[in-house]
Structure 1
Amino acid sequence: MNSPILSEQELIIRPIQYRDLDALESWIARFWRKEDNKSFWSKEQWQRYRNWFGLWKILSWFPKPYQHDFHIYVAQRKNDNKIVGAIQVSPFNCTRSTWQVEQVIIDKLAPQNEILTGKKTIGSQLLRYCLENIWEARTWVSEVEINDNRLLALYRENGFQPIAHMTYWSISKATLQHIAQSSNVDLPNLLPVSNTDAQLLHQLDCVSMPPLLRQVFDRHKDDFKVDLLTNTINQVKKWFGNSNTIISYVFEPQRKAAIGYFSLKLATDQTDTHQAKLTVHPAYTWLYPKLLAQMAYLTENYPPAELELISADYQPEREEYLRKLGAKIDKQTLLMSRSIWHKLRESKPLEALHLPEVLQGLQPARPSIPTRISPSSYHNYQSHNIKKQSTNNSLAAQPNIDQLPDSNK
């Protein structure tokens, strides 16, 4: 990612408009890769957003789930109105206290100007625009590949710090078939997930991660609920055979808590891959083989495909089990975050507070007059202290009534 230097006066950062799509597509195509079909900037999803741009804009006026799908901003040069950069952000949780930077892309063919004092890169200006103008966000997160040195430098320059190391694994088709045929799935307390189980899943999510990540993610019970519109869309996709997602969790009846959870998006085409999300209580790591065997068993009714999983460096048991299983590492990323506090502006100027009048009212009515201490006043003060000390000594010498011996005994 090239990030040329342009001053803030030379750039206009604004929300994306329909007229920007042709200019964006002309240079975003250079970032498309055949194996990358999951990000927003992939060719398939870009064509989908382009064809339904008007509908997505209308849906962004309504509540979730599509309210924040079009938080896309572009950087435009003032002299020739050319688009030289774009950024996509989205809320990370339901309260929108944490936001995520989905993608930052800079035009590789933009001219490389000399680095001057006081000027920022286009990527930094795009990031700063989002940090300063999205007032709901208290924390920002982003995930960057560990080999992308330029993007890592961009985030570090703008205050992002690493908080976790993420690893993307893929399990081969043969390994999945072997696990499904050789493993004995015995999970009597495996239950389907509904909105009534949101509190249990929230507790499991909190206990499965370090306190720092828990504070950064700031998830709540509503983050684990599915609204009616999203549920209806998922059911329609399932009926037409486009996609099928199975979500289940393991319930511990003695503790009345969820100790394991998985979400499996099954691939309906051999060219696609099965995608799984797995969460296990740290005290029940023996659930990893059982939950993976359950997911392998569910994939048998679908075309053979690889299974993708994600693990973090604070989950050493999962990474060790996947290594023993022979899983392949696809990529490694760095999860970064930064907190931000927006400075509130004064509703009234300081001149309207009339501070001189307030300070003048605190002045003494007349100046203090210093007086001498005469020898007689000093003698009276000393005699008063002697009398007070003798009185305290006499009171201390009197016996305590509670400690006197009882004469009736």
Structure 2
Amino acid sequence: MVSDLPSAGDLLIRPLAYRDVEVVQQRLCHEGVHDQPFGLPFFGDGQMTSPLHLLQWLMGMSKQRIYVAERDNQLLGVVQVAPFNENRTTWQVQQLAAQEFTEVGTQLLRHCFSSIIEARTWMVEINIDRREALDLYRQNGFQPLAHLTYWQISADQLAALAEGTPCLPNLLKVTNADARLLHELDTMSMPALVRQVFNRHYRDFQINLLDWLHHHLAGWWQQVQVHRAYVFEPQRKVAIASYTLHASQDGHLPHWLDLTVHPAYTHLYPEILTHIAQLVQSYAAAPLLLSSTDYQGEREAYLESWAEPIRRSLMMSRSVWHKVREVRSPLPEGLTLSEVLQGLQTHRRPQPGQIHTKEGAQAYYHEPPPKKTSPPEAQS
């Protein structure tokens, strides 16, 4: 598919093919400029030479879209995008790499904006140290949404934290039947602007069969075990906290924690992290990673005292709805609206041809005939 947008030279933008994987991984992702550490997550570390790699690639392509930019049979850039929510109204730019970063990156982004017409909002997360990537997204209409901080808890800190006794009496495992509770918790835990951009539905917290197979296949290949649970409040019948833990079985990857806590129950942070520390003790020693945003002040204050910040990112969003430019009134200076309306009146007052009175009489009013003018000889 050739992009119809103007570009320098004949730039061909097309979907990623199987033959492009080696070039993308070896040349673009290492030599080209990218918006974040690049790595196609479902490709694996090497080539897709086994049926397992190919099956994982096909399952990932069912949702994700990857486009490459080519000129004179030479790959110059690649972009990977995917829907962020179930109804596919919000799409996320996951990764972008290019040699001519500003020019080719802009063409790749605009191609995604024009070809994926179902997307009403776009979002991206960029490391704040990558200035060139931040400038690229700002030039293409992205605006700051929230600041993120990634924290690392070492294996020794996890071992010391696991010695405590957490108080979580209503900790339940997550099933698809709990999707509405998790959606309500997610709605209450973020401000209105972020909630509008995410545009999540309760179906986003359900796992269908295809996603379940994909996650288990990726977890088996990467030696990662997933634990999902939430804390239930029986009096209000709501979920007040939930987590998803990706525990590394061999210690090759760090443990990853996705944590959501209701703003009114921030006292649960120490309890949940103590419980998480006890869970990871049954796996290989590895650090734990989790994130916090600038609207989660209590979490950042809690982690700031003892956890190590390792990266800061900026979440940006772009809406496809553009504000209609206001048009000024074309009235000349000093001319009021009433004077304009007077100029739109008819020259002669219209008169009715018939009026019905209460007594049933009819009065006829006709427009007066035009005055006859006598010829000049008669006037003289």
Same fold (TM over 0.5): yes
Determine the structure 1 residue equivalent to 2:255: 274
Q: Which of 103, 106, 130 is matched with 1:121 structurally? A: 103
Which secondary structure does the structure 2 equivalent of 1:83 belong to?
strand
In structure 1, runs of 5+ residues without a counterpart are: 1-5, 60-64, 111-119, 343-367, 374-409
Distance 2:18 2:81 in 1: 18
CA RMSD of aligned residues (A): 3.0
Kept in 1: contact 2:148–2:293 (CA 8 A): yes
Kept in 2: contact 1:166–1:335 (CA 8 A): yes
Q: List aligned pairs for 1:4-403, cutoff 5 A.
A: 7=7, 9-30=9-30, 40-41=39-40, 45=44, 47=46, 55=55, 59=59, 67-69=62-64, 71-77=65-71, 80-107=72-99, 121-181=103-163, 183-232=164-213, 242-324=223-305, 326-341=306-321, 370=348
Distance 1:91 1:206 in 2: 19
Determine the structure 2 residue equivalent to 1:114: none
For the structure 1 residues 161 and 51, does the alpha-carbon distance in structure 2 shift closer, same or farther, using more than 3 Å as the test?
farther
Distance 2:165 2:15 in 1: 53
How big is the shift at 1:30?
1.8
Kept in 1: contact 2:150–2:291 (CA 8 A): yes
How big is the shift at 1:269?
1.5
Distance 1:236 1:10 in 2: 40
How big is the shift at 1:22?
4.0
Distance 2:315 2:349 in 1: 71
How big is the shift at 1:26?
4.1
Distance 2:137 2:232 in 1: 40
Distance 1:247 1:235 in 2: 14
Distance 1:295 1:123 in 2: 40
Higher normalized helix content (fraction of residues): 1
For the structure 1 residues 230 and 329, does the alpha-carbon distance in structure 2 shift closer, same or farther, using more than 3 Å as the test?
same
How big is the shift at 1:24?
2.6
Kept in 2: contact 1:28–1:41 (CA 8 A): no
For the structure 1 residues 51 and 128, does the alpha-carbon distance in structure 2 shift closer, same or farther, using more than 3 Å as the test?
farther
For the structure 1 residues 254 and 237, does the alpha-carbon distance in structure 2 shift closer, same or farther, using more than 3 Å as the test?
same
Kept in 1: contact 2:25–2:39 (CA 8 A): no
TM-score (norm. length: structure 1): 0.71
Sequence identity percentage: 43
Spell out, residue by residue over 1:279-308, the C-alpha distance to the aligned partner (whole angstroms, 9 max, x if none): 000000000000001100111111111000
For the structure 1 residues 203 and 31, does the alpha-carbon distance in structure 2 shift closer, same or farther, using more than 3 Å as the test?
farther
Distance 1:277 1:303 in 2: 19
Distance 2:300 2:227 in 1: 23
Which secondary structure does the structure 2 equivalent of 1:314 belong to?
coil
Determine the structure 2 residue equivalent to 1:377: none
Kept in 2: contact 1:27–1:107 (CA 8 A): no
Distance 1:229 1:372 in 2: 74
For the structure 1 residues 301 and 154, does the alpha-carbon distance in structure 2 shift closer, same or farther, using more than 3 Å as the test?
same
In structure 2, runs of 5+ residues without a counterpart are: 1-5, 323-345, 352-380
Distance 1:135 1:239 in 2: 35
Distance 1:18 1:238 in 2: 23
Which secondary structure does the structure 2 equivalent of 1:47 belong to?
coil
How big is the shift at 1:233?
5.5
For the structure 1 residues 372 and 167, does the alpha-carbon distance in structure 2 shift closer, same or farther, using more than 3 Å as the test?
closer
Give the total of aligned pairs.
Answer: 320
Kept in 2: contact 1:205–1:279 (CA 8 A): yes
Determine the structure 2 residue equivalent to 1:406: none
How big is the shift at 1:68?
1.4
Spell out, residue by residue over 1:23-60, the C-alpha distance to the aligned partner (whole angstroms, 9 max, x if none): 3344135259xxx9x8534797253557567646755x
How big is the shift at 1:180?
0.5
Kept in 1: contact 2:79–2:97 (CA 8 A): yes
